[in-house]
Structure 1
């Protein structure tokens, strides 16, 4: 009997995030300004926290987990771990140690599948040179998996979401569209090999390239879609982002998946959240949905040019909406 893990969860991957507008309202009263040692906190919505150890080292910490995005247990484990590691890369760090976070319906799904999930996570961490030691598990009505990751960074060379400056180009290290393809997979069982390859590719090289190029601003593109994460970057940086929609790349089959109706509720909520801050410039709804597509383990959005990543726009002085499409 083939067990389809995606059928045991109400959604999948980063599309299951609490909507960005609701999340910001929840944490609004919890924001504390960074002190001398807390270099990255909760104020701008960066991907990980960072605290100074000494003049040369900062500790980076993050946690990320979600419900199955694909049916294969091992592949889901790889994707979830790659996604968690990405938060460390997004602030310019290198992961050192991870612990597993697991929720499992132990009376519903075979425990043998847990081993495969954890094996996938271990292999992703091994590829990143990150140790995995222990973790925490709970009996949960839905399967959930991810990692809490600790890393190191240079405190003087962190990538921050609010450090963008006018006159700087925007680069994106991975194509969009894995969200709609994952939604199609959940509905039909059809596997996109390219989408899996995108989701299991570490953002290590993109992060290192950004630092080598002197970039100071970046974020990874996950559940809030490109538009959502770009809006957060532009708002935190006090600039307007001009996005060249023709320069954005997509995973093969993504447009066809949108046309077939495989669009998650998370993607539609992303677009509704950004719409008041967006000048769409006549861009068709199909493209808007792809730009808002809730990505799982997406690429790095970098303020700066990095090798191998297309330039998809630029930051300009703040004027009108936070994002302008052309």
Structure 2
């Protein structure tokens, strides 16, 4: 079972009260004495579950008292932890040789105190499983420090005084300390509020004084105007010109883009009807040119034939020979003239066909380009 009743041995009143308060926080019953001699007298009639022993005390020190307690069968099983500011490894080994469980270093923390209580509880449980100890016998004291009857009476008075002080401290903690804490908290709030206001006023005054010292004299209006004009001439005007030129360039590019898009849209909308009309006109022109070429070729052929016949007749008439010779001469002249006329007719037809073909190719190319 866990430790429930603890004895604190320390000559420092503040250390006793602090450790007592922490142990009570773990729900333990705590008794305190201020010397090793008083602890030995206490153990004659009381059996705590564990002991926290200081090392440096007037009279018998803590290690001597621990050895004495461990030599007596009635108290040998009580776990002892040295409560001191010594934390050297050599001292810890010496404390264990004297019978202590370990060392709790001052000032104690709740974590370290909890670990020490767990270790002492384990030893206390192990001791509880052993045989019941005989009735407590008087613990012989160290020969060189055997207390007399008068010393024992003083020790008893101290224990009674310690008990009375504990009762008073408990009353103070339960009744007076809450009121004191409330008053302290109120004073702290008032102090912090006043301090904040005072610091704010001081900081404001310091800043105003500093700004007043560093404030430059008011500038002359002419100097300001001249400075503004210089800045405008040197920086603003070039910047504005550059921005205006960039804007104009962007505006021109945007306008060109818009014109191209509009022209392309109009062209796409008008291209198909225009191409159809051009193609129809080209076909009509081609038909008309072909008809004209055919008619011209016929007229040329007829005129050439007529001229050939007339010329042949004239040549026959001019010849003074017989009928057979005239017929032969007429046929010869007709063949000669007809060959020449035929050659002219072919040239005229070739020219008309070439002109018609050129017109047709031009119309087809125009229709393709329009599409």
Question: TM class, shorter-chain normalised?
Answer: under 0.3
Larger radius of gyration: 2
Give TM-score scaled by structure 1 length.
0.21
Q: How high is the TM-score relative to the length of structure 2?
A: 0.19
Structure showing greater relative contact order (alpha-carbon pairs closer than 8 Å, 6 or more residues apart): 1
* More strand by percentage: 1
